[in-house]
Amino acid sequence: MNVRPTQRKTRPIIAITGSAGKSTTKEMTAAILLTRWHIFKSPWNLNFYTHTRKYAHQVNPSHQALVLEYGMSGPGQIRLHCKAIMPNIGVITNIGTAHIGQFSGDVRKLAAAKSELILFMKQNGLLVINADDKNSSFLLTQKFHGRIVKVGITKQAQYTASSVRYRERGMAFIAHTEKTSFPVTIPIHGVHHVYNALMAIAVADSLGFTVQEIQRGLAHYHKMERRLWVHRTKKGITVIDDTYSANPNAVKASLDVLQHVGKGQKIAVLGTMLGMGSYSLQAHRDVGKYVAKTNIDLLYTYGKEAKQIGQSAITAGLSKDKVHHFILRQPLHRHLVQRLQKGSTVLVKGSHAMSMKETAEFLVSYAQK
């Protein structure tokens, strides 16, 4: 069934999709709206269309807005979300490499599947997209009759960020709307999360939220589990736990955070990226090439397919003695402990099913003793 607004002439029904950043953008948006409204939001990252069907029966007249996350693993699924609850505000964070294996590695096909949000949302609504994401140019926006606004840092857009900088506990930047500019802080590292915040700002601003409400919501939004959690330990070792999921774009973003947060020895522990399908070999090699461009001191790979990351990094110029591959967790942990130094920063990243959180938890436990 379609949820219809009962308290407002047009109750905001916000649906967020994209290859990365969906959950964080949802939480940021919800946090701003909660400064004034009673809302319904999809919990955690329960974002399959079957979840949305259940949410349609949980919404009640007291909810002044809905903030929903629309996930997919194949074509036709975003349409089913919209059939269950039709949004009037759509947000597409980016078009990257998550689930691209389901589309034969063809980013245009992936973009077409994400475009189902555009095609099946209210056609006089608001659409928010990423001006800096080159693959978002493949989105099917041509026949959309509503308002399209863009966010960006490097490209021209209605909502932009400048003076982006890393801080001890997150990011700071100046947000620019078409009418004003104001400082923003978010309690999470990474330039990619600045884009997520800009998406939330665009939605909230369009709904009439004040600068103060936007600032307060973003400063205290609910951080999702194991998304760039930074642990600073007694032994002076920093562990970056980003183990909830992994795809090439997300791994690259995490490596960027490692470079900015790490003060001493920088170590990346990267597990296999699952769900890549026929794109898997290229995906892992692509990450390896990116690793070679960074200034990390040690690269550890874990899992059968992750070996390609290390091999590709060596081919791209990373010294062979910096690369170590493991298929068993205990030998990986023993080797890590032998190489850790006071002041080391360790990034742990991998697909959820690779259970890389066990390595992150081991490192935090070891470094706290």
Residue 221 has pLDDT above 50, yes or no: yes
At residue 289, the pLDDT reads 98
What's the CA gap between 75 and 81, in Å, rounded?
A: 12
At residue 7, the pLDDT reads 40
CB 355 within 8 A of CB 332: no
Each residue of 99-142: pLDDT tens digit? 777 787 789 999 999 999 999 999 999 999 999 999 999 999 99
What's the CA gap between 189 and 328, in Å, rounded?
A: 30
Each residue of 324-365: pLDDT tens digit? 999 999 999 999 999 999 999 999 999 999 999 999 999 999
| Pick from 283, 135, 134, 257: nearest CA to 193 | 257
Pairs from 223-227 (Cβ < 8 Å, separation ≥ 24):
223/24, 223/27, 223/187, 223/188, 224/23, 224/24, 224/27, 224/44, 224/45, 225/44, 226/357, 226/360, 227/23, 227/24, 227/188
What is the average pLDDT across 293-307? 97
One-letter amino acid identity for 162? S
Tell me the backbone φ, ψ of residue 6, rounded to 5 degrees: -120, -25
CB 316 within 8 A of CB 292: yes
Confidence of residue 6 (pLDDT cuts 50, 70, 90): very low
Residue range 13-219, CATH number: 3.40.1190.10
Q: How far is CA 270 from CA 275, 302, 319, in A?
A: 15, 6, 17
- How many residues comprise the chain? 369
CATH T-level assignment (fold) for domain 229-368: Protein-Tyrosine Phosphatase; Chain A (3.90.190)
What's the CA gap between 161 and 168, in Å, rounded?
A: 19
Each residue of 132-187: pLDDT tens digit? 999 999 999 999 999 999 999 999 999 999 999 999 999 999 999 999 999 999 99
What is the average pLDDT across 313-322? 98
Every domain of the chain and the residues it spans: 13-219, 229-368
Bridge pairing between strands 89-92 and 159-167: unpaired
pTM (whole model) above 0.75: yes
What's the CA gap between 243 and 350, in Å, rounded?
A: 5
Residue 35: both structure tokens together: 């400064």
